[in-house]
Amino acid sequence: GAGVSQSPSNKVTEKGKDVELRCDPISGHTALYWYRQRLGQGLEFLIYFQGNSAPDKSGLPSDRFSAERTGESVSTLTIQRTQQEDSAVYLCASSLTSGGGYAGELFFGEGSRLTVL
């Protein structure tokens, strides 16, 4: 597919369990972003990856949240010891970056809906 792909689309887990959410960006897109959207709320920035640079982790809400990205491809968002307040849709986006460091528009995936019981 040509778009940003996220999996799983839905995940139900028990409080205290760890979860991993996956994002496959559009091929060739060097920038990758993770956002969280709680029910009825706006999008909250979590983390940003750009090439081999150190990621911008300024939006991660706690040390239970971490993310990795392998080169300019797949990214995984991990939430350890999940809590009920982690229930949300987790959205991934990618964008092209020009040689001048300017980003094109962000393309979002459909999101992974996480429900913590």
Residues of this chain that interact with another protein (CB under 8 A) are 4, 30-31, 33, 35, 42-45, 48, 50, 56, 59, 91, 93, 95, 97, 101-103, 105-111
Cβ count within 10 A of residue 31: 20
C-alpha 84: how far from chain center: 18
Nearest approach, Cβ of residue 71 and another protein (Å): 16
Give whichever of 69 and 111 is closer to another protein, judged by the CB atom.
Answer: 111
For 84-116, give one letter per residue: b (16+ CB within 10 A) or e: eebbbbbbbbbbebeeeeeeeebbbbebbbbeb
Nearest approach, Cβ of residue 112 and another protein (Å): 11
Nearest approach, Cβ of residue 63 and another protein (Å): 21
